[in-house]
Structures are given as structure tokens and as C-alpha cells.
Amino acid sequence: MNLRIGTRGSALARAQANDVARRLEAAGHTTEIVIITTLGDQATDRAFTDVGAFGIFVREIEAALITGRVDVAVHSYKDLPSQSPAELVIAAVPERLDAADVLLVRDDVSDPGRGPLPLRRGARVGTSAARRKAWLRALRPDLAVELLRGNVPTRVRALAEGRFDAIVLAAAGLARLERAPGNDRLVLPHGIVCVRLDPALFVPAPAQGAIALQVRRGAIAVHAAVAGVDDPTTSRALLAERAALRLAEGGCTLPFGAWCRKNPDGTLTLLAALGRDDGTIVRAQSTNGEPETLAAAVWNELMTASDPCEHNDNATCPRGADVVRSAGAMPE
């Protein structure tokens, strides 16, 4: 079967699509990569919140899938809104790479004595994600967190040129580019240190590190063709994270992270974190065998507070028992 694979044109997106293509070709199919430009690729000079964060890297690809221009869409799963168009369905999720974030730090500003964010006081950190900004500011209120957009090589170049002292990236994306073929391979410049941020503390975006294969709901043959690359263990954990994301999108418009891991007894443990307008982060964790039940339990724990959101008179946001406060979060 010939399968047209829709993807963004960045080096990382192409690496992900090519990995999927290799898997499908190994199963006897032929493939064609179709590059599609998205709004997120075009609006590189503004924060995500200024262009409508949800779906800015996927809408055009989903449209091409719905109209039949492509047969399979390959997405970074974290870029997908919690609800897909009715015509589309996630048909497979290959095994996930590391869900964590990494901090790339210039040697001359590294300060290992400052805990999980080993940066000297006042260091400039580049990121575009509201979640990462919130976590950075809560853990280290002394840092200057500044806007950084662009693909991964562009961000690394900005760091190497001294425009930032550190940047935050997804560990999985960095790993995929470090093993990409040819000119797409990324080699970190000399003098840059890579620090993995513990996902139990610096909670990742839901589904970070995973790839989603999306197809038309009625395309039975295509669905069957791509189902062979699905990893059930990954899919089950991501169900919990994505269910928590649906609840978060329907509750507060605040920075949100969720990370689910499988336990030796087969149960799942889900950790979620929500940033608040006052600079605090509330966290909740639960263990259960069913992803939807687990997500509901964690969200209910997050929402146990009685204080209303300052930004939304119609929503209730958590204060909770497990709150990280920005003041005094790190020693001076």
C-alpha cells in the first residue's frame, strides 16, 4: 500500500516522519513524505499565546488529511489539542522517547551549586512555552525568562551565539536530531552542557516525547497499515496524560504539565502540575489501573482548593496541599 505521510518541514518533523516511513516500509508499504507549512512555522516572532497556542502546528496538516491530500499525519503528540476533528483519529503511537525537558547551558554561566537549574543568578533563559516559563520562574525567580521561537537548530544557534545563557528543549526532540542522518543531524556546539530536568519536578507537557499517527476515521485500510507501529504500553500511559489535558483545557487556561509512568505491577502513576497566576505551582499524583479514572482523580485533587482563579471569574483553580512557591524556592 502506498501511504502519503504529511508532516511539518522542520528537521525534527522530518526525522520523525522518516522514522515512521522506515517502519511502514519494513512492513511492506511504500511511502511518500509530503511537507506542509503550518501557522506555527510562519509566526516565529510571537509567543504562542499571541497566535492561538492550541493546534498551531497541526491545523494545516489535519486539513490536508481530511481533504485526502495525505493518508497519514505524523505529529509531535504534545502539539495536538486534546480533541481532534471528528473526521480524524489517532491510529498509532510508537514507543515514546524520554518525556523530560533538558536545559542547555553555556559553560560560562553554569553553576552546579544551584540545584536542578544549575545557572548563575540572573541568567537569561530562552523558551516559548508558558509551562516552561512558569516552572522556571517558580523554581528560580531570579532568572530572566525571555521569548525564544524557531526550530531546534535555530534555538541552539541562538544559545551558541550568546543571545541566551540557557534554553529549554524536549529531551526527545534533541535525541532524534542528534541521530538524524546527513545535514539534519544536530551536534551541540562546544561549551554547551546538557542537563536533564527530572520530570517529577519539572513536569513535562502531556504526551511530550511521543509521536502520534493520525488518519481519517473511515480509512480502514490505512488504519490497519499504521496500527502495526503502535506501542500499547506507550498508548496506555498517554491516554492518562491526554485525559488530564482535556480536563485542564476545560478548566483553567494556565500552564499545565502531566507525566504518566507504568509501575511494575501494571498500574499507572500520573503526576500533574498546574501553574497559578500568583507564581505558585500546585501538584497532584495518583495511581490507578485505568487511565481515565486516574486522570479524573488527579484533576479532582488539583481542583480541591476553594480560591477562585484571579484570571477567570467562572473557574475554580487549585491551591492544594502540594504547592511550590516562587519566593525562596532557591537559595540566593
Cβ atoms of residues 295 and 270 within 8 Å: yes
Tell me whether residue 133 is one of the annotated catalytic residues: no
Tell me whether residue 149 is one of the annotated catalytic residues: yes
Lookup: cell for 264: 511494575
Q: Which of 71, 79, 101, 165 is catalytic?
A: 79
Cβ atoms of residues 99 and 120 within 8 Å: no
Lookup: cell for 96: 515514546
DSSP per residue over 191-213, as a string? Answer: TEEEEEEPTTTSPPPTTTT-EEE
Q: Which of 4, 14, 132, 137 is catalytic?
A: 132
What is the distance between the terminal CA atoms of the chain, rounded to a whole angstrom? 61
Tell me whether residue 242 is one of the annotated catalytic residues: no
Q: Which of 124, 155, 216, 283 is catalytic?
A: 155
- Gap between the Cα atoms of 50 and 166, Å rounded: 23
Q: Which residues pair with 324 in a beta bridge?
A: 281
Q: Which of 14, 252, 276, 317 is catalytic?
A: 252
Name the residue with cell 479524573: 296
- Gap between the Cα atoms of 125 and 147, Å rounded: 8
Backbone torsions φ then ψ of 282, nearest 5 degrees: -105, 140
Q: Which of 120, 149, 236, 261 is catalytic?
A: 149
- Gap between the Cα atoms of 152 and 104, Å rounded: 12
- Gap between the Cα atoms of 240 and 165, Å rounded: 35
Written as one letter, the residue type at 288 is N
- Gap between the Cα atoms of 245 and 264, Å rounded: 25
Lookup: cell for 174: 534533541
Q: Which of 96, 131, 137, 283 is catalytic?
A: 131
Written as one letter, the residue type at 209 is G
- Gap between the Cα atoms of 238 and 60, Å rounded: 24
Tell me whether residue 260 is one of the annotated catalytic residues: no
* SS3 label, residue 288: strand
Name the residue with cell 471528528: 86
Tell me whether residue 78 is one of the annotated catalytic residues: yes
Lookup: cell for 198: 527530572
Q: Which of 4, 14, 78, 133 is catalytic?
A: 78
Q: Catalytic residue numbers? A: 78-79, 131-132, 149, 155, 252
